[in-house]
Amino acid sequence: MHGELAASWPLKGVTIVATDKKLLLIDGNSVAFRAFFAMHDALDSMTNHDGLHTNALYAFRNMLKNILEKVDPTNVLVAFDAGKTTFRTKKFAEYKGTRARMPGELAEQLPYMHKMLDAMGIKWYELKDYEADDIIGTMAKEGAAAGMAVTVLTGDRDLTQLASDRVTVQVTVKGGGQLEAYTPASFQADLGITPKQFIDMKALMGDNSDNYPGVNKVGKVTARKLVQQYGSVEGIYEHIDAMKPSKMKENLLNDKEQAFLSKDLATIRTDAPITVGLKDTDYSGPDTAALRAVYEELDFNSFLKDLAPDEADAVVQKDLPVTPLTSAVLTKALAGKAPKAVMIEMLGDNYHTEPVIAVGVGTPDQWYVATSDEILRDKLFQSWLANDAQVKYVFDAKRNYVAAHRFGATINGIDFDMLLVSYLLNTVDNSNDLGAVAAQHGYHGVEPDATVYGTGKKRQIPEGHDVFVQHIAHKMAAVYNLKDQLIKDLQDHAQLDLYTDLERPLAIVLANMEIAGIKCDPDTLRKIGASLKDRLRDLENQIYTEAGHEFNINSTKQLGTVLFDEMKLPPVKKTKTGYSTSVDVLEKLQDQSPIIQEILNYRQLAKIQSTYVDGLLTTIHPDGKIHTRYIQTLTQTGRLSSQDPNLQNIPMHQDEGKQIRKAFVPSHDGWELFDADYSQVELRVLAHVSGDKNMQEAFKENRDIHANTAMKIFHLSDPSQVTDNMRRQAKATNFGIVYGISDYGLSQNIGISRTQAKEFIDAYFEQYPQVKTWTEQIVKTAREQGYVETIMHRRRYLPDINAKNRNLRQFAERTAMNTPIQGSAADIIKVAMINMAQALQQQKLQATMLLQVHDELIFEAPKEEIPILAKLVPSIMDSAVKLAVPLKVDSSSGATWYDVK
């Protein structure tokens, strides 16, 4: 057995020549786990536009950034476990056998972690039959032998056995936000043993996490004393006969085989048969373009600001003639040229406030660019823009429409919107940079905006006038030249109607909603803020009273000391340097002391204060309104997103958050707000597409679908037996199924065990068997054709549906199930919005559609028009799309947004 152990470490008799190279080795799996649970509170809120959970990816990236800045390595390798079966499980079948299966919400993020590492220029590696620890041990030995300073980053203290004069092991603590360094000196100071003797200590005491036995009744203190006295497991048994008779000696003799087996299992190999070498780990920084693409895919917009512009040279397709002209000459030229391409150029994303820096029009014969906004005020030019008979091609119709409106102009006759068409053809490639979009379709004549203008604070008009004007011209040429190809692609995909009848007219509907805005009363927000501050002060005082003294409630360390050292509450999670005080920890302690609920309330109110009071006050325009922007091309399901600010995320389920809606009011005296909301539209779509008779019958009979499900999963015979909590859990199950939820995800959402969550899911499919059949069939269809569609042929490609990687494949399968449901629900409300806009115009009502929040539409109207809306809006929304079950709309009106919900 001893022959199987790794060679002595560090190497003896070998001269090591120090270099200035630094090797960073990262334990991918353990750091990923730390990252996942460090941001576990954000699990539900941190998803990208595809529904991919991103909490671990976000925290993992931050941990990487911190360690890279700290170490400044020349070489980096991230090691991952290749699977559960290793040489250790072959020796001891129960090794790590008690560990719970990795949560699906973390597993689905691992492939994207690999993708992010590739883009960051960091080598990652896994080896069949070995653990990440063994890869790191082998590379650490090789790096040290080459004279490199080696740093190991891990969340697992087992790796501290690798510490040596040339190897420092950094262990993540406090959710990954801090590091503890392990060296031979720190081992001696803390435990009085060497790093290698840590193996012997673990062998004697065993390991519950890795599930190897050790010696019966030998704990940490006894194990350490034995190692200090005898040096090693081998030394103990060499002197066992000289020990005085005792229960400990008896246990040592009885468990001798277990002790040596445990040492073998605990020893990290430093001679694993890896196929990577130090040269493979050279690190020179990220591939900026690739990393930008990854961040955009994950919706990590804040990280994009850290990236330098993509410096890749654009390929110019042809030299385009450009003539900067005055507005008078430009309008005169229009009469003869009948241009089609139109572009209103701004540097930033927020076209409600960004200054216009250029206006362009043209045909392949000539491109015209005015490098000021004066042309938009010209009456002749405005007349041409408004001419519906004059066909126009644009990139992002809504952006151009809103920008023109700021100057009193209206753009009619928009026939081709390159951004929308490209998005419909492939929702995966949803960049809003014209150059990137053009390149996706084989046209390489446009440089990315970041290359021409720069990014962040350095974003500006280029100094060379010709460079600037040429860039605008190239962008217009791309729109013009790609039009025929992209429209043909839409026809080939049977998606032309989706574009012409839905997305293109919706862009103008959304533009008018953005222009209208919704009035937000700052005084009401300030009053709510003042009330929140008073409540926060009261909560602070209550917390201080319970604690017996004042302290920093926002300090994890101070709060942990108060709760667990002073108040003696039972710690749920503890590290070597402190206690966890995360939301999930505090919720488990709610029945232990009143201070716990007070702290939870304090955190909740503080977030509402900063995000929704202080945050919204900064977004009110001079007209007293908030003009959010609806992003039509972000999500792969077709759902709309709201930005600057996001009005779709204002809390609905907690009263303190709902109070914020009191600040949203009609823009005229004598008017009210009117709200209409689809009831359970996603479940109704599921009933339609699956054809499930039980679910369809429940909706047709207007039964409570959540109570209906609760009766099945709780084995009840009468609806009267369903409690509010049962219905809540059934509701989470119903909607969880739509999102392809795992047993882990459901258990976390409703606070039950994974076993019970699985029973709920199984019972659900017993109640609705055709839903189960449909989920299996839609996955099969996705595998065969590579995509799924909504009821209106919105297509989503699933490149990973047949992937060999299990995590990638399973996420694609859940996406295949979810997209037709969520995407069809998005289609339905979009149809309703277009129909509503037409109806308001046809009936010459003053009522205005203001907001769309998921399945909800908000209007403002004179009080005398409210009864008309009460009949008109539900009738139009109910009839938007014909399903096998009736659509249902709930509506109400009131003086504020709060009053209508």
Provide the residue ranges of all domains of the chain, joining segments of one domain with +.
2-191+269-281, 322-475, 520-626+635-665, 666-692+768-901, 707-760
Helix-helix angle 681-690:724-738, to 10 degrees: 60
Q: What mean pLDDT do residues 753-780 have?
A: 93
The model's confidence at residue 427, banded by pLDDT at 50, 70 and 90, is confident
Per-residue pLDDT at 301: 75
Per-residue pLDDT at 698: 94
Residue 787 β-bridge partners: 797
Torsion of CA 667, 405, 854, 620, to 10 degrees: -50
Nearest to 887 by CA among 831, 847, 845: 831
Sign of CA dihedral 193, 195, 198, 200: negative
Q: What mean pLDDT do residues 98-119 have?
A: 86
The model's confidence at residue 311, banded by pLDDT at 50, 70 and 90, is very low
CA atoms within 13 A on the CB side of 422: 28
Q: What mean pLDDT do residues 96-110 have?
A: 80
Return the higher-pLDDT residue of 30 and 10: 30
Whether residue 116 contacts residue 36, with contact meaning beta carbons closer than 8 Å, is answered with no
Q: Is the pLDDT of residue 322 over 50?
A: no
The model's confidence at residue 293, banded by pLDDT at 50, 70 and 90, is confident
Cα 716 from chain centre = 38
- In the chain, pLDDT over 70 holds for what percent of residues? 92
Burial (0-12, 13-18, 19+ Cβ within 10 Å), 645? buried
Q: Please provide the average confidence, as pLDDT, over all residues in the chain.
A: 88
Q: What mean pLDDT do residues 172-198 have?
A: 84
Q: Is the pLDDT of residue 790 over 80?
A: yes
The model's confidence at residue 315, banded by pLDDT at 50, 70 and 90, is very low
Q: Is the pLDDT of residue 326 over 50?
A: no
Q: Is the pLDDT of residue 76 over 80?
A: yes
Sign of CA dihedral 636, 641, 643, 648: negative
DSSP 96: T
What tens digit of pLDDT does each residue of 146-161 get?
999 999 999 888 999 9
Per-residue pLDDT at 321: 42
- The residues near 452 (Cβ < 8 Å, ≥ 6 apart) are 462, 467, 468, 471
Whether residue 341 contacts residue 395, with contact meaning beta carbons closer than 8 Å, is answered with no
Per-residue pLDDT at 705: 93
The model's confidence at residue 308, banded by pLDDT at 50, 70 and 90, is low
- The residues near 785 (Cβ < 8 Å, ≥ 6 apart) are none
Whether residue 105 contacts residue 57, with contact meaning beta carbons closer than 8 Å, is answered with no
Nearest to 861 by CA among 666, 658, 686: 666
Is residue 849 classed as helix, strand or coil in its secondary structure? Answer: strand
Task: Give the CATH class of 2-191+269-281.
Answer: alpha beta
Per-residue pLDDT at 626: 97
Whether residue 251 contacts residue 226, with contact meaning beta carbons closer than 8 Å, is answered with no
Q: Is the pLDDT of residue 846 over 70?
A: yes
- Its CATH architecture, for the domain 322-475, is 2-Layer Sandwich (3.30)
Q: Which amino acid is it at 729?
A: Q
Tokens read off for 657: 């958050």
Residue pointed to by tokens 């690999």:
114
Return the higher-pLDDT residue of 305 and 795: 795
DSSP 855: T
Whether residue 341 contacts residue 486, with contact meaning beta carbons closer than 8 Å, is answered with no
Per-residue pLDDT at 175: 57
Q: Is the pLDDT of residue 90 over 90?
A: no
Q: Is the pLDDT of residue 483 over 50?
A: yes
Torsion of CA 184, 189, 191, 194, to 10 degrees: 20
User: In this structure, are strands 366-370 and 322-324 parallel, antiparallel, or unpaired?
Assistant: parallel
- The residues near 779 (Cβ < 8 Å, ≥ 6 apart) are 801, 813, 816, 817
The model's confidence at residue 332, banded by pLDDT at 50, 70 and 90, is low
Tokens read off for 610: 């900063």
CATH topology for the 666-692+768-901 domain: Alpha-Beta Plaits (3.30.70)
Return the higher-pLDDT residue of 588 and 71: 71
Is residue 143 classed as helix, strand or coil in its secondary structure? Answer: helix
What tens digit of pLDDT does each residue of 198-228 get?
999 988 988 877 878 888 888 888 989 999 9
Tokens read off for 318: 């042809």
Q: What mean pLDDT do residues 111-135 have?
A: 94
Taking domain 520-626+635-665, whether its CATH number is 1.10.10.10 is answered by: no
Per-residue pLDDT at 177: 61
Tokens read off for 83: 């699977």
Helices (runs of H) and strands (runs of E) counted in the chain: 38, 25
Helices (H), 740-865: 743-750, 754-767, 769-785, 806-842
The model's confidence at residue 578, banded by pLDDT at 50, 70 and 90, is low
